[in-house]
Structure 1
Amino acid sequence: MKIISNNKIAKFDYQILDDYVAGISLLGWEVKSIRAGQVNLRNSFCYFKDNELFVTNMHVSEYMNVKGDPTRSRKLLLKRSQLNKLLKQKTQQKLTIIPLNIGWKNGKIKLTIALAKGKTKYDKRQSIKEKDEKRKIEKLWKNY
């Protein structure tokens, strides 16, 4: 899958447990804007409504002179078994569904979503420390 945009904060704020690739229902101008790379997944999240999965707050910039709602809710296309599995895990384990990235696959736009658990401040600090340690080790190895 050729990635168009990533949700950079998702892996820092959440612990990713499982991921799925879903189709997304879009309007024509939204496809053109996404193709141009004018999409932001930063504050977006997924929710269930009438046993269907929607993504909201995914900002798709307006294309040329088209007037539309850039943050409207968009329906995600998954198989019924996947939807039931996601709904069951989300409610039982109190997890969140977040989009990780958006990209092209066989000429269609796909959204990678993840079942995730929010990190605490301690976990976030710990991940920052681990990244710093890795950088220091790589820097030392580079000098030798």
Structure 2
Amino acid sequence: MKQSNINIKNRRATFDYEVLDTYTAGIVLTGTEIKSIRNGKASLVDTFCVFYEDELWVKNMHVTEYFYGSFNNHQVRRDRKLLLNKKELEKLQRGTKETGNTIVPLRLFINEKGLAKLVIALARGKKQYDKRESLKEKDARREIDRMFKQ
């Protein structure tokens, strides 16, 4: 199977959160959802993960309706179940019990088998001064790169 170039990122996540641990999870999708994702019509803005009865769900993930779909088209912002093994789920659940930790999606991609995968992270929210520090570091790196290119 050919390599897919679908790589949808949540750019805001690394700015707002300090990533502690990452996992790659499968997603339970309907037929028209996977077709829209393969067309690149998805967004991870304002997306988060929660536990319901020992199952991990991604909420608020936007997958645009499939253009050629009929009345069977999917809902745009429905909850979607994530597929992880039991040990990973237990580790994530323990991690979210700690104050300030949450689970955020970082990247949505199609793997070499043609399956949609979501990279999620156990993360801790940054304080306002941490965000300013991140911006300063980013600007400093950009200045250094400019100096070396000239």
Q: How does 1:94-109 map to 2 (within 5 A)?
A: 94-105=100-111, 106-109=113-116
Listed as ranges, the gaps of 5+ residues in structure 2 are none
Secondary structure in structure 1 of the residue aligned to 2:92: helix
Listed as ranges, the gaps of 5+ residues in structure 1 are none
Q: Could you tell me whether the CA contact under 8 Å between 1:56 and 1:73 is conserved in 2?
A: yes
1:72 aligns with 2:78: yes
Tell me the alpha carbon deviations over residues 28-85 of structure 1, each in whole angstroms, 9 at most, x when there is no partner: 0000000000000011000000000000100000002444321100000000111011
Q: More deviation in 13-22 or 2-11?
A: 2-11
Which residue type is aligned with residue 15 of structure 1? Answer: E
Alignment partner, residue 41 of structure 1: 44
Alignment partner, residue 114 of structure 1: 121
1:132 aligns with 2:144: no
Measured after TM superposition, the shift of residue 2 of structure 1 is 5.2
Aligned length: 143
Q: TM-score, normalized by length of structure 2?
A: 0.90
Q: TM-score, normalized by length of structure 1?
A: 0.94
Q: How does 1:21-36 map to 2 (within 5 A)?
A: 21-36=24-39
For 1:87 and 1:31, the matched residues in 2 are separated by 28
1:88 aligns with 2:94: yes
Q: Could you tell me whether the CA contact under 8 Å between 2:49 and 2:59 is conserved in 1?
A: yes
Which residue type is aligned with residue 57 of structure 1? Answer: N
* RMSD, matched Cα: 1.4
